[in-house]
Structure formats: C-alpha cells, structure tokens
A and B are shown apart, each in its own frame.
Chain A
C-alpha cells in the first residue's frame, strides 16, 4: 500500500466514521436517558435518505403516510391513557404534540413535494419528516413498558427494528437510491482527493457534536437530561419527568440520525433495509467508547470507519466480517478494564 492509497482510504474512513459518529452519539444519548438500546436507529437514517431521494424526484415520500399513521396511533393511546386517569385537561396539549404538529409537518411536505423546491429546502423537509417518527414510536412502543428491565427494552427494540424494515419496504419499495452530492466542489489534501461531500460530513459531525456539548453543559434542559441518565429517582425528586426527558432525547437523536442519513445518501446506495448495518457499525463505535461517553462514542465510530475503509481495501467482501470481528476482542477488553455499570448506581 502506497502513501497515496493510504491517504485516500483514511479520508474515506474518516468520512464514514463521522457519519457513524452521529448515529453512535444518538445511540448513547438514547440509551443513557431512556435505557432503551434503540436498535432501529440506523433505520431512521436510511429512511431519511429514502425520503430525500423521493423529494429529489418530486414524489411524495412514503414517510408522509408513515408519520400520519404513527401520529394517529400515538394520540389514540395517549388520549386513552389520559381519559382513564381522569386528566381530560391535558387532552388539548397531547393533541397538539402527538397529532397536530406531526400531521401538519407531513401535510406540508406532501403539499410542497410536487413542486420540487431547492435542495436546502428538501433537506429540511426530509429532516422535519423523520424527526417525529422516533418520539411517536416511543409513545406507542416504549412508554407502556417504561419501567421494564433493560433486556426487555432491548428485545422490544429488536422487534421494532424488524417491524420498521417491513414498513420501509411497504412505504419506500425495494429500489435502492443514491442522491446528488451536496456540492460538486472538491480539494486536495496531502495528495488525496477530498470531495466537498466529505468536508460537509466532517463539518456537520463536528458542529452537531459541539452543539450537543454546549446544550448539555450550559442549559437547564440539557442538565436535566444528564441528571435523568445519572440517577432517574434523583431526577424525579427534582421534578424532572423521565418521559419528558425521553421525548427530548428522541427528538435530539432523531435529528442526529436524520442528518447522518442526509449525509450518507450521496455516498452509499441506500435500500429500505440498509439502516441496520449503519446502526450496527455505530453501535460497535459506541461500545468501543464504553456506551456512556459521547467523545468515546465519536472516537470509537471514527475508528470503525477507518477500519472499514482499510478492510475494504484488503478484501472488500470481508470488510463487514473484519469490522464486526473486532467487536469480540473489544468486548473482552472492555469487560476486563471497565467497572461494571449497575442498572441502579450504588452509594
């Protein structure tokens, strides 16, 4: 391997690593706040890519109907729960968040789609459409079992992933898509060609991570999210509702998943079931970082990206095998060095 090839592979690896990093950070965020290992996270990224592709063609994306269906179901469940608890006063608020806002977004996209608005608008439309999906799924699937053990939540998340892949086939069809790059500009760094898309990916990953850091460190809501992941009972005793913290975590991580979907769409061909591999590689990154550290997850994800890139040069058919084989020694190393994290932390 010459230096030139190594440089090209490194650039490639960093680009896909940055995408995995966004998904990995979202995975860690959701796991620490809600205790849900949200397996369908990669599916959200893939659905965003598929949504953007449909919008590029001036078609109404399948996500519109998906969001409307989820909104109706989520509101029905919330309304039933509120009526049973005799809290009718909270119905209008629930209707606004679970029904009106998601459906308004879906209808706006449906209305705008045939006109094929310019690319930045299409990006925002795709993102706006994907963000309500996970919070609605949370209300439908996880809220009724919020106090279940982590393992039960994980099993439900796996089942949800398979359900979503099925829905993906239904709403988006079996064809793969690849969208236009965000820019055709490119430059040369250390003799390696670096595309504008790669630069966009890295900038987006760094900017979103920085935004999250600022939010977690300096806002009361951010601190409430950290508190919920640190000690749920303690947070409740301060008036922080875990369900509400969970919804915020789902919205934030959906934005991360959505952006990674928008960024990966021009790089890889995305099918309705491509999300699983993205999510799994991000998960490996998050594991390398120890599953509770955001910088750790980001670094782990970049390592996975680099590994994948160099592995594909060595043997393209074995690249996934190589990436996932690394998980075994890492898990062994992790279980040896790190202190076991109990579900409830002890004094």
Chain B
C-alpha cells in the first residue's frame, strides 16, 4: 500500500537556527501516527511545514503528488487539515460560523447543514453554544471547536498539534477518545503530543523527536514498553 503522506528528509530553519533536521515520517492510509518529544524539539515546526505555512527543504508527497509549490490553501483543498497548537479560531465569530467556515474548501454548500449536525452530535457542548462567540469559550470547548471545524473540511489527513495542551485531565481523555473514534471515519491522523502515554495508546506508529531529529521510531505498542522512553517521557504519568 502506498503512503498517504511521506515527509522525506525535511529540514526547517528559522534564519540560521535549524529547528528540524532531515526528518522522515510516513503515514499509511487509515493510520494514526504520533510524534512525541519534549518541548522545543521541533514538533510544531514540522507540522507547520507539513501544511505549508513554513518553508522547508526536502521532499513531501501526498497521495503520490509532490507538494513542492502547492500552497496551504491548495493542500487544504486536497484534504489535508491542520488543527494548530494555537487553535487559530475566529474569536469574534460565533461557534456555528466557525464550523461553517471549516467547510469552505469543499464548495459543497448543500451538505453543510448535515455536516454541522454530525459535528454537534459528536460535541453536544458546541451545539449548546452555537450562537456564542468563539472567544468566550473555555479551553476545552475551544479545542472541541477547533477539532469540529477541521472535521467540517472532511479531511483525509488530519494534522493535530498538541490537542491536549493546557486542558484538564478529564477533557484530555475526552479529546483522545474523539481522536480514536475518527479512525472509523477513515481519517488518517498525524498527532503531535507532549502527553506521550495517551498519544502512544491511541496511535499505531510513533516517532520520537529530540532537538529537531528523529531519535527513535516504531510501533506504538513497542515504544510504550521501552524502558528508556518510560524513563524520559512516560514516567510522570
């Protein structure tokens, strides 16, 4: 089976500082792949490069197509969707409008109503707050809105950057349950997380990113039992 997305020796620099060095990651259709690692390892940088918000060197292929020269908006139209670490919601617009805009790239206006209902079924809290401005939501609700907005795009590949960041443990569990349930929709996921245990429990394959480089990779079930990893990232949980 050919990979959905391959990142081949991707490097990203901020000026002279190289934040990501020759990282290669591959995602098969239907897989959940996670990239774990400490703060400042370059995880977010890699995600921004993958969606095209940051320039990078190396090769990216999505559905067999070279992504060089394909801008962010065109990647979104092809079915890639990033839920960024900063969420990037439309704070002065209400929940329903935020979700509606998620479907912008699909140009399928007729389906928006039905898809809205699907998202509201998944996140009943959003339905209660559909007329409320996004800026007035709590942290957990904002993450749900960011996820729901991404789902409105009907993505093939969802890039999730730190979905559990700054959330209460109970909500973190809920978010990970949602992520696992997306598998049944046929959505492949590239998940970047500091919460290594929860990420590895959800994913099929894991990569460990440290100071911009992949130091370890393998089946998530193996990584979760690796004593070195337990000591470094999983000990506290």
Q: Residues of A at under 8 Å CB distance from B? A: 85-87, 220, 223-224, 226-227, 230-231, 233-241, 345, 347
Contacts and interface: CB of A to CB of B under 8 A. Distances in A.
B97 A223 contact: yes
B93 A223 contact: yes
Contacts of A87: 69
Interface stretch (B35-43, B84-92, B192-200): B84-92
Nearest to A236: B72
Interface of B: 51, 53, 69, 72-73, 76-77, 81-82, 84, 86-93, 97, 100-102, 104-105, 109, 149, 153
Nearest to A224: B104
Pairs A-B, 4 closest by C-beta atoms:
A239-B105, A234-B88, A239-B76, A230-B90
A239 B53 contact: no
Nearest to B51: A237
A237 B76 contact: yes
Contacts of A235: 90, 101
Given A220-B109, A234-B90, A240 B84 contact: no
A347 B86 contact: yes
B104 A220 contact: yes
B102 to A, nearest CB: 6
A230 B93 contact: yes
B53 A240 contact: no
8 contacts: A223-B101, A231-B91, A234-B90, A236-B72, A237-B76, A239-B76, A240-B73, A345-B91
Contacts of A85: 69
A202 B172 CA distance: 54
A272 to B, nearest CB: 39
Contacts of A238: 76, 101-102, 104-105, 149, 153
A253 B109 CA distance: 26
A112 to B, nearest CB: 36
B73 A226 contact: no
B88 A224 contact: no
Contacts of B153: 238-239
Given A233-B84, A239-B73, A239-B105, A226 B93 contact: yes
Contacts of B92: 226, 230
Given A234-B89, A240-B101, A240-B104, 19 more contacts: A223-B101, A224-B104, A227-B90, A227-B101, A227-B104, A231-B90, A231-B91, A233-B86, A235-B90, A235-B101, A236-B72, A237-B81, A238-B102, A238-B104, A238-B105, A239-B105, A240-B73, A241-B73, A347-B87
